[in-house]
Amino acid sequence: MPETSTQASRPAFKTGLPHVAYVLLWYPLFTQPFIFREVEGLKGLLPLSVYSLYGPNLRHCSNEMRAVAGETHTYGMRALGRVLGECFRQILLHPLRTGRLFRKAIFRHWRSWETLGENLWAFCAGMYLGRLFKDAGIDMIYAPWPRGTATAAWVASQIAGVPFATAARGDNLEPADPDLGDKLTAAFFVRANNVADKKRIEVFDRGQALGKVELIYNSLTLPPLPAKNDSAEPPAQPREQAPMERPVRLLALGRFDVTKGFDVLIKACGILRDKGLDFRLTLAGGGGAVMGLGRMEAEILRLRENLQLEDRVLLPGIISHNELPRILAEHDIFAAPCVVHESGRRDGIPNTVIEALAYGLPVVSTTVNALPEVVIDGKTGLAVPPNNPEALAEALLRLADNAPLAQTLALNGKHLAADMFDPTRNNQRLADIFIKHYTIWKRSCAA
């Protein structure tokens, strides 16, 4: 696809709307369905183009994701010559500006070679995108992640002379990359997708983002359930207690990351077994050696074997987004045992929790970070302290022994998810924020 082409299917927009460039490492990516839902929703509201710094990665992507993959401007190794050629051109034409940008973006104490490599490529890609954005008439650049993508957006904005915005969430803030404070300073606005992270962004470092943080929740990522005869309001009190059918089907989903707390869940399963509960846990997910994912997978396998839970804890691997509706429908209770890692890293609101709520599953979660915004203890789910397998097991057992309570919590959670994560409303709000800040920027330029 020519890099400045416009999709024939894209709607005609009224004049004056900003043409927004979304900069990502990969698009689409199966682990980021909320980004996919956001981008595709915004395409009907604003002129929007997506730029992927790396090559295509459609592994485990849904059919819907694959259908739009061809609309993405994709780079990676196949663009290496073009990117490096533009870098040399910028060095020759603007040596002082290029040197200043390089020092500010790259001369940092990075935590790993991997992070340095990502930012180095993002810097070079940003040099290339800056010129491309000027030619393509891009008005605003947005990086949904404050790491490599924000580096590229920051550099491109300096070259193209347009504003950029970024977002921060969950583990982006602690431990933070050494350039995050400067990126928050340079960004025209910063997006948060939950209240807890909004507060963390506003007090981060020297408070550079205070006054320019915009809160917009993510959107539901799965197609809506077929209509049911759910009552408009759940019953005020649960009906007479009755247990769920046995075996109780527990479900947990996500990357095998240290922040997910899946090792705590396996320990809780040992307690449930000892208490005599007939259950099966489906723990779907996986991960490689990046960011400790391999270590967590090894720990899960070790605990499952040591606690003799091989027949009760099923590990089917990574589940395609196409399969999620079926998986959710086949289970009784969803568990999100999130923890705060010793480094400070934590989740915001895991997308899997939103999906489980939306599909009418009762949820047991911990009280980490923004989870209490959606899993309100005793109303939309049960919330327990993190790193506490006994409390987690007790909450799961409570729902297993009281199906009416589980149904009431599930219905409340479903209503909350439909309201808080409504795609039409949240995408419109994000589009309005782009328009508002672009208008403010144009006025500041004219003053």
Q: Which residue segments constitute the domains of the chain, with CATH numbers given?
A: 20-219+422-446 (3.40.50.2000), 248-420 (3.40.50.2000)
Q: Which two tokens stand for residue 265?
A: 């869940």
CB 320 within 8 A of CB 30: yes
**Tens digit of pLDDT per residue, the chain (447 long)?**
444 333 445 577 777 899 999 999 999 999 899 999 999 999 999 999 999 999 999 988 889 999 999 999 999 999 999 999 999 999 999 999 999 999 999 999 998 999 999 999 999 999 999 999 999 999 999 999 999 999 999 999 999 999 999 999 888 999 999 999 999 999 999 999 999 999 999 999 999 999 999 999 999 988 776 655 555 454 444 456 789 999 999 999 999 999 999 999 999 999 999 999 999 999 999 864 444 457 899 999 999 999 999 999 999 999 888 899 999 999 999 999 999 999 999 999 999 999 999 999 999 999 999 999 999 999 999 999 999 999 999 999 999 999 999 999 999 999 999 999 999 999 999 999 999 999 999 999 987
Determine the pLDDT at residue 306: 98
- Of 172, 200, 154, 177, which is closest to residue 259 (Cα–Cα)? 172
CB 250 within 8 A of CB 280: yes
CA pair distance 367, 195, nearest whole angstrom? 14
Determine the pLDDT at residue 10: 59
Give me the phi and psi of 81, to 5 degrees please: -60, -45
CA pair distance 425, 217, nearest whole angstrom? 10
Determine the pLDDT at residue 438: 97
- Residue position matching structure tokens 């602690």: 174
Q: Which two tokens stand for residue 114?
A: 């991997």
For Cα atoms 144, 148, 150, give the angle at the middle one, nearest 5 degrees: 45
For Cα atoms 300, 301, 305, give the angle at the middle one, nearest 5 degrees: 115
Determine the pLDDT at residue 233: 52
Beta bridge partners of 141: 21, 164
CB 182 within 8 A of CB 1: no
Radius of gyration of the chain (CA): 23
Q: Which two tokens stand for residue 388?
A: 């506490």
Q: Which two tokens stand for residue 444?
A: 């500041």
Q: Which two tokens stand for residue 78?
A: 């196949």
Cβ atoms < 10 Å from Cβ of 280: 17
CA pair distance 55, 60, nearest whole angstrom? 15
Q: Is 220 helix (H, G, I), strand (E, B) or coil?
A: coil
* 423, burial (CB in 10 Å: exposed 0-12, middle 13-18, buried 19+): middle
* pTM for the whole structure: 0.90
CB 403 within 8 A of CB 128: no
CA pair distance 191, 327, nearest whole angstrom? 31
CA pair distance 71, 51, nearest whole angstrom? 9
- Residue position matching structure tokens 């957006």: 153
Determine the pLDDT at residue 225: 67
